[in-house]
Amino acid sequence: MLLRLLNRALVLVASVLVASVLVFGFMRVLPGDPARIALGINASEGAVTQLREQFGLERPVLVQYLDWMRGLLTLDPGVEFISRAAIGPQIADRLQVTLWLVAASMVLAVLVAVPVGTWMAVRHRHADGMVVSALSQVGVAVPAFLAGILLISVFAVRLGWFPSGGWVVPAADPLGFVRGLTLPAISLALVQAAVLARYVRSAVLDVLREDYLRTARAKGLRPLPALWRHGLRNASVPVVTVLGLQLATLFIGAVVIERVFVIPGLGSLLLDSVARRELLTVQAVVMVLVVVVLVINFIVDVLYLLIDPRLRAR
Amino acid sequence: MTATSTLTRARTLAAAALASTALVAGCSAGSGTAEPTPTAGSGTGEGAGDGTGHTGSGAGDGDGSTGTDGGTTPGGSEETVRVGLVAEPASLDFTTSSGAAIPQVMMDNVYETLVTIDEGEIVPGLAESWEVSEDRTTYTFTLSDGVTFSNGSEFTAEDAKFSIERVSTDAWTNGLAAKLDVVESVEAPDDTTVVVTLSRPSNQFLFNLTTLVGAMFDSEGVHDLANDPIGTGPYVFESWDRGSMITLTRHEDYHGDAPYFQTVEMRYFRDGNALNNAMLTDAIDVVATVQAPEALMEFEGGAYQIIEGTTNGEIVLSMNQQEGNPLSDLRLRQAVRHAIDHQSLMDTCWAGKGVLIGSMVPPTDPWYEDRTGDYPFDQDRARDLIEEAGAGGTTLRLRIPTLPYAVACGTVVESMLEEVGLDVTIDELEFPSAWLETVFTNKDYDLSIVSHVEGRDMAAVFGNPDYYTTYGTEDLQALLEAADSGSEEQEITKMHEAARLISEDAAADFLFLLPNLMVAEPDITGLPENILAESFPLADLARD
């Protein structure tokens, strides 16, 4: 068991390293010179070269990479080229915002998906179950940003129930915070809930077909209590996997949703920094997202081992 | 090692690769819209075009005009006004970074200049008057008394000397610093007198002082301009929530009229739709620049006030006329100008808002002349010229930045040129990064579309053959030089001639002048109808 954990941790570290090389490499091949963008089109070539040197962009690529890695390991990704602002605190601020958004969407999605998915499974031979199932299929197909735009035009612009965007710090104005979070969280949660519900449905269906559940029902238990007492733990194994993957995609989805709702989270920071060719900021944000995705993956693996003793034995 | 763990590892690695690839790819694709989308007055070519100081005027010099030092009116309200914009600054320090979003907030609001511009006229600012020597190389400014910086220290002639001299030091890396290259020396004989000596007469000098190179800093307060700007303006920088807004508060010891609003929130939205939605949901009070004129429809019907004025933003269809390029042939350039129906283009891509101009001069400049008749819309003439040039079926690469007006008008230009027998391919380049590299730096394009928003920027945009517009002929340079060094009347005559030459040589085509479009709550007053400077003046805003 311990060996397996260690093994997975090593894989995690290796993956982060591979990702860092990829991210660093991609940023170098993007067109656009950060120094030129900082100085504008009136700057002389001399000034641009000088600034490139000041930014450290003239050094060998390997030196730049190692320097960057050293910064990451000490949790100090450096300062921005143009604004000279420290990147670390900015990421910390923005990550908090994104975490709220992701957490709210995840909770919403699970709260909807588990009962709906179970319902779809239990009633899969009935018309109502089929209708809900078909609806969830539609939900899977709607991109989050489209959902966001639709929600804004109906609930913000037309009805005025929620703000169309922006961010309120929870401590400053709890009600405003919840109102501001509602539409973006729903946009992200819609797709997630639909996807998740389908997985819950098939997991529950699988369990329903198991012998032990048939036995339980033969002993007189109704389907839902039988499921609750005997099936849920089994059904949760595939669901936890999906939940992990979904959580990872939620972070990526948040990048887009933050743009639609003008939320100053990691996604907005990422897109703005790309536009300004703030290489260090982009690299740092992407690495944070990559690490988040990989760590979630790791946690899913570990949970796997905990939930399903059969995996531990092997 | 078991099969499961190998599989797990493979999956984890793949996830890492996928995640990073998707992110990088996703963000470079997305950044097109992430862009500062400067339209009206908000600076497009990222300050495309700055006066390098060869030209232009500076009306109102020389007569020792005396300024008013308006009596302070009773203070304003405790209210906050929320102004919505799209382009968030990259930094607050315009001495080291470019981008129109910085002066938009900082100039005239946080920083002030010795002289300033009011509806095209140069008027007193921190200098209550100035005199120009006979040979027009010495400017003597008399400063207003009782002006203090936001840190409490007094504004003196020493600060002015420091500020002007600093522009030509290494501390200023922004390319616009070249605007003051003509300054030879600065003296401060007493606390309220500043004497600036130029190396040669320059009409553009006084005008340039109204722009960001003329900003007055505290000689003791420039150590952290990016985070702690200190100026004499009506507002003081308060805070910056990156990604959402910049807050300014009233400068309590301001030397002029106290602004009505206690607090101004400059809120940044990055996207025209989000900006409009914020206005529609009452999250802001003013839309400082409407990103697409069609959006005005949402605000019509009386619930909002709509302002339609003008700007300095000439939308230039630039033509690469370097040797070996198809457009180095004058006939082909002329054909392009004849082939474009400007009115119908403006109607199609900018909802008819804007002003048609035939050359690089907006109607608000002293040397404006209607040149729209130089190349009237005439498809037959265009076809003849193309045939004469032997250029039928030539493929032209129209490389446009991902900015709303360029994207909207690019396809119209394409179809109009194709109607007369040219083959046009459109490439959209992410702005600023990809456009700067491909079109601006490498000049790897045939046609491009960019609005040049700086005031009096004819010399900067067309006076230099190495600039991306690739024009700058000797004839034009001679005219521009004569204009800058001549008397006020000579300046106007020479600038007329220069504008005519640019138009007749078809150095570029001029699609139209961007309008200044704003939307605001109906009771907001003091909004500028025309945006002719680099700032968005906030001190005049009030609520009825």
Q: Residue B465: is its pLDDT beyond 60?
A: yes
* Candidate from B56-65, B283-292, B436-445, B456-465 with smallest mean pLDDT: B56-65
Q: Residue B16: is its pLDDT beyond 60?
A: no
Encoded amino acid at B281, one letter: T
Structure tokens at A267: 């996604």
Contacts of B237 (CB under 8 A, 6+ apart): B92, B106, B110, B150, B228, B229, B246, B248
Q: Is B490 helix (H, G, I), strand (E, B) or coil?
A: helix
Structure tokens at B237: 């920088």
Q: What is the pLDDT of residue B52?
A: 30
In terms of Cα–Cα distance, which of B272, B33, B30, B429 is closest to A286?
B30
Please judge whether B433 and A275 are an interchain contact, meaning their C-beta atoms are less than 8 angstroms apart.
Answer: yes
CB-based contact (8 Å) between B169 and chain A? Answer: no
Q: What is the pLDDT of residue B41?
A: 32
Q: Residue A272: is its pLDDT beyond 60?
A: yes
**Which chain A positions have a beta carbon within 8 Å of B291's beta carbon?**
none
B542 pairs with which residues across the strands? B525
Chain A, residues 126-155, CB within 8 A of chain B, namely 149, 152
Cα distance between the two ends of chain A: 9
- Cα separation values, B205 from B81, B137, B361, Å: 35, 10, 18
Encoded amino acid at B428, one letter: E
**Which chain A positions have a beta carbon within 8 Å of B437's beta carbon?**
31-33, 36
**What are the backbone angles phi and psi of residue B11, rounded to the nearest 5°?**
-70, -40
Chain B, residues 58-97, CB within 8 A of chain A, namely 88, 90-92, 96-97
DSSP per residue over B373-399, as a string? TSS---HHHHHHHHHHTT-TT-EEEEE
Q: What is the pLDDT of residue A47?
A: 81
Q: Residue A65: is its pLDDT beyond 80?
A: yes
Q: Which pLDDT tens digit goes with each residue over A107-149?
A: 999 999 888 888 888 777 788 777 877 887 787 778 888 888 8
Q: Residue B137: is its pLDDT beyond 60?
A: yes
Q: Residue B120: is its pLDDT beyond 80?
A: no
**pTM exceeding the 0.95 threshold for the entire prediction:** no
In chain A, the percentage of residues whose pLDDT exceeds 90 is 20
Under the banding of pLDDT at 50, 70 and 90, the label for residue B75 is low
Contacts of B95 (CB under 8 A, 6+ apart): B166, B167, B171, B172, B173, B174, B177, B225
Residues B243 and A269: beta-carbon distance below 8 Å: yes
- Cα separation values, A44 from A49, B73, B177, B380, Å: 9, 45, 11, 43
Encoded amino acid at B492, one letter: I
DSSP per residue over A245-290, as a string? HHHHHHHHHHHHHHHHTT--SHHHHHHHHHHHT-HHHHHHHHHHHH
**Which chain B positions have a beta carbon within 8 Å of A94's beta carbon?**
243
Q: What is the pLDDT of residue B33?
A: 31
d(CA B106, CA B98): 13
- Cα separation values, A144 from A117, A160, A190, A259, A268, Å: 20, 21, 7, 11, 16
CA distance A240 to chain B (A): 15
d(CA B511, CA B450): 10
B543 pairs with which residues across the strands? B524
Task: Give me the residue from A37, A43, A290 closest to B16, CB to CB.
Answer: A290
Q: What is the pLDDT of residue B534?
A: 86
CB-based burial of residue B54 (10 Å sphere; 0-12 exposed, 13-18 middle, 19+ buried)? Answer: buried
Q: Is B82 helix (H, G, I), strand (E, B) or coil?
A: strand
Neighbours of B370 (CB within 10 A): 12
d(CA A309, CA B70): 83
d(CA B168, CA B174): 10
Q: How many CB pairs (< 8 A) connect A and B?
A: 234
Question: What percentage of chain A's residues is helix, strand, coil (to nearest 5)?
Answer: 80, 0, 20
Find where tokens 């906030």 sit: B538
Query: What's the half-sphere exposure (Cβ side, CA atoms, 13 Å) at B169?
Result: 8
**Which chain B positions have a beta carbon within 8 Å of A4's beta carbon?**
5
Q: What is the pLDDT of residue B42?
A: 32
Under the banding of pLDDT at 50, 70 and 90, the label for residue B70 is very low
Residues B101 and B85: beta-carbon distance below 8 Å: yes
**What mean pLDDT comes out for the span B48-59?**
31
Q: Which pLDDT tens digit goes with each residue over B197-247?
A: 999 999 999 999 999 999 999 999 999 898 899 999 999 999 998 888 999
Q: Is A142 helix (H, G, I), strand (E, B) or coil?
A: coil
Residues B31 and B430: beta-carbon distance below 8 Å: yes
**Which chain A positions have a beta carbon within 8 Å of B281's beta carbon?**
156-157, 160, 163-164
Find where tokens 């990222």 sit: B46
Q: Supply the ipTM of this predicted assembly.
A: 0.81
d(CA A30, CA B227): 29
**What mean pLDDT comes out for the span B330-335?**
96
Q: Residue B46: is its pLDDT beyond 80?
A: no
**What mean pLDDT comes out for the span B449-478?**
92
Residues B357 and B365: beta-carbon distance below 8 Å: no
**Which domains does chain B carry?**
77-305 (3.40.190.10), 312-514 (3.10.105.10)
CB-based contact (8 Å) between A92 and chain B? Answer: no
Residues B462 and B360: beta-carbon distance below 8 Å: yes
Structure tokens at B424: 């046009």
**What mean pLDDT comes out for the span B420-439?**
90
The C-alpha angle with vertex B225 and arms to B224 and B227, in degrees rounded to 5, equals 75
**What mean pLDDT comes out for the span B250-264?**
94
Encoded amino acid at A19, one letter: A
Domain boundaries, chain A: 95-299
**What mean pLDDT comes out for the span B122-138?**
94
Q: Which pLDDT tens digit goes with each residue over A160-193?
A: 899 988 888 888 889 999 999 999 999 999 888 8
Q: What is the pLDDT of residue A223?
A: 67
Q: Which architecture characterizes domain A95-299 according to CATH?
A: Orthogonal Bundle (1.10)
